[in-house]
A and B are shown apart, each in its own frame.
Chain A
Amino acid sequence: MRALQWIGVNHLEVGTVPDPVIEHPQDAIVRVHRTVTCGSDLHLLAGYIPFMRSGDVIGHEFVGEIVELGGEVRRHAVGDRVVVSSFVACGRCWYCAHELYSLCDNANRNPAITENLWGAAPGGCLGYSHAMGGYAGSHAQYVRVPFADVGAFRVPDEVDDARALFASDSAATGWMGAQLGEVGPGTTVAVWGAGAVGQMAAAAADLRGAEHVVVIDRIDDRLDMVRTHVRCETLNDRRDDVGAALLELTAGRGPDVCIEAVGMEASGGPVENVVDRVKHQLRLQTDRPAAVRRAIYHCRKGGTVVVLGVFAALTDAFPLGALMNKGLTLRGAQMHGPRYIPHLLDLMARGDLVTEHLGTHVMPLEEGPEGYAMFKHKRDGCVRAVFLPES
């Protein structure tokens, strides 16, 4: 089959790889209808997550059709149109039983890597390096879905592929951000990053009844898009005094919940950028957390900061003083997909949650490397590039 492969740093190719097979009785094989780029893939592409084998198939957010099932899959049938959680979870361990699916004890096939790096291993993730289990990704004609009863969900007929696609990860991550922040009526929420996850976090905050939702970014196209599709306000970090605007909006308190949706390659102020980038290139730190710093700085006393962006390991100049002295709660997680996807599909079916606008560029899988270049450099207003393996 054809698949988009990571060959080396900043080098992707579409190649021919073996078709996936059922390796475990709870597997399904899914023919991929649509698969989409994710900002976290850019960290793999740039070599900041050094656990990729040359030739690995990337991609973790997709929708498709089941074509083959393992003998122990009970909830699905061949022909089901499904959206699949990017994180792989067994559904039976303590973490899964408590709906903390991305922390699954049994789904990461290479636990020692992250046990040594982070102290404990999270679950597995499709197409996201050998540190996360080494599973082949979805930028391919077919993909193996482990524990299909847990991670795959039938898409309602009213929801087309273009919308359902984002339930796989972006919308679920955004919803988790609002849930971890305990966003509800009366809450003011500030979201750093107007990419797909940031837009979905803002939409989730609005759907959960937040009083005010503000999205902060530097790209006007994205801010225009979020204002069009989500009931929220926007600030341009280059033009607006974000701090003053947030204090005015909240009468001096600051946002109750600050959600970071940028990740480990964030840009900050000019001096901060130079220092962060030099340290990053020299591997003196693995992450550039400029947006996390801002979220902590601007959050109200006693508020909650939620980290949704992907980070690898270590960072410098972390504002621990502000975190401690302001009494903040800092939360973060990889996405607990199966906890959120059924509800998100319901919202999508009712038309309360729209996502298809996020797929700004739709192209054949064969154009995958060009799609990633466009996505990485944010050319032509690209928010997400969607690949069609069947065309």
Chain B
Amino acid sequence: MVSSSTARPAAPAGAFWLLAGAAAAAAWWVRRRKQARRAAALPLALTVHRPITELADELGQHEEQLLADSGLDGPLELAAAPGTFGTEIRVRLPEGDGPTRAQARQSLRLAKQLLETGSTMPPDRPVTRRRTVTSIPLEVAIRRAGKGGRL
């Protein structure tokens, strides 16, 4: 005689942990999205090793061009940095259409080079490159190397 159980089979423990993991990942993703939105609302900021009086004069002459190049929606906010650091520069990205944060980051980096050294360093070009599949992630990283990061 074959007996059969009428009890419902218990849900496998693995399914519970899978769901819990998925929920945790979703919560993490939502939190990261909120953090990213808050970060995007912050101005881009960097410090230039020049006195604020000197920099204000120079930027006064070139600000329009700098803003046009960077696509930023000025004005630049200048503040004396603490101690000997020089001048803090903050710029806000325009609402809606306009440069991406990545483009603005690149422009600001180049502006800092220009203001501190008088010229900008040419980008890292692959003059001796031999293509390999494993170097694709590196190529992506290099392409984003001026536009990404923590500025």
Residues of chain A whose beta carbon lies under 8 Å from any beta carbon of chain B: 3, 5, 7-8, 17-18, 23-26, 50-57, 72, 90-94, 97-98, 105-107, 109-113, 115-116, 119-121, 130, 133-134, 136, 146-147
Contacts and interface: CB of A to CB of B under 8 A. Distances in A.
Q: Which of B119, B121, B135 is most buried by chain A, counting CB atoms within 10 A of its CB?
A: B121
Contacts of A72: 118-119
Given A111-B109, A113-B142, A147-B117, 8 more contacts: A17-B128, A24-B119, A54-B131, A57-B128, A90-B116, A94-B49, A110-B124, A136-B128
Contact of B85 (A53, A94, A136): A94
A116 B146 CA distance: 12
B145 interface: yes
B146 A50 contact: no
A167 B16 CA distance: 62
Of listed A50, A94, A119, A121, residue having the most chain B CB within 10 A = A94
A133 B122 CA distance: 11
Interface residues of B, number: 36
A72 to B, nearest CB: 7
A186 to B, nearest CB: 33
20 contacts: A7-B130, A53-B129, A54-B132, A55-B128, A93-B116, A93-B117, A94-B47, A98-B84, A106-B113, A107-B121, A109-B124, A111-B151, A112-B144, A112-B145, A113-B145, A115-B149, A119-B150, A121-B149, A130-B124, A133-B124
B112 interface: yes
B150 A136 contact: no
Q: 9 closest A-B pairs (Cβ-Cβ)?
A: A112-B149, A110-B145, A112-B148, A134-B124, A115-B149, A55-B128, A94-B49, A54-B130, A115-B150
Quick one: which of A98, A107, A130 has the most chain B CB within 10 A? A130
Contact of B128 (A53, A105, A109): A53
A121 B46 CA distance: 13
Given A94-B84, A112-B149, A113-B145, A105 B112 contact: yes
Contact of B117 (A8, A18, A106): A106
Contact of A136 (B113, B121, B127, B139): B127
A50 B132 CA distance: 13
B138 interface: yes
Given A53-B138, A93-B49, A112-B141, A26 B150 contact: no
A90 B49 CA distance: 12
A106 B121 contact: yes
